Amino acid sequence: DGGITQSPKYLFRKEGQNVTLSCEQNLNHDAMYWYRQDPGQGLRLIYYSQIVNDFQKGDIAEGYSVSREKKESFPLTVTSAQKNPTAFYLCASSSRTGMNTGELFFGEGSRLTVL
Amino acid sequence: ILNVEQSPQSLHVQEGDSTNFTCSFPSSNFYALHWYRWETAKSPEALFVMTLNGDEKKKGRISATLNTKEGYSYLYIKGSQPEDSATYLCALNQAGTALIFGKGTTLSVSS
């Protein structure tokens, strides 16, 4: 089935450790996105990529890094510089890029808890 | 950072009630307005992508309208059912930017 797979679903880490969240899609979409959700907040954009080997910062990129070496994959690293990393992370993809963001297709999310 | 506002934050209705929610957004550089439904333990799923002022879209008992000049969209659910219980997100696509989401409206429908 076509879709977006995020892993792991749940992740516990100690403070100061880097963590990488995986996001893979087999929808042949050009654009991929990472959002973060905190209680009482909307989805906030961390990073997005419209094409392989290119990505842009979203509203809350500090303390995060990404790569886009393959069209199918857009991993997110939560670094030790991220001051408040405990959150729910959603990956999404879209077939359109540029001015018109097409409908987003989402993964099921990864919940990161930093102890 | 521009603001996309949704109201109410949450509401609880009885099965069979009709209900509606509001999404407000800045009207400058408008390109598209998205609505998503997010059920517990599932991924958000797109309901509508609306681009034209005055647009009205319908999917079963759910419909949405769009006013780009005044910067608002309404989502209507006719005859709510328990399976409609979810968080409904709206998101703004301004020209050349990624989607900006509102905080959502959480609907609970009891039978």
pLDDT tens digit sequence for B23-42: 999 988 888 999 999 999 99
Instruction: Work out whether strand A110-114 and strand A10-13 pair parallel, antiparallel, or are unpaired.
Output: parallel
A85 has a chain B CB within 8 A of its CB = no
Determine, for residues B46 and A48 on separate chains, whether the beta-carbon distance falls below 8 Å.
no
Q: Residue A101 is nearest to which of B42, B93, B102, comparing CB atoms?
A: B93
Q: How far apart are CA B25 and CA B42, in angstroms?
A: 26
Please list the pLDDT of chain B residue by residue as tens digits (111 residues): 578 999 999 999 999 999 999 999 998 888 899 999 999 999 999 999 999 999 999 999 999 999 999 999 999 999 999 999 999 999 999 877 788 899 999 999 999
Q: Which residue of B has its CA nearest to A46?
A: B98
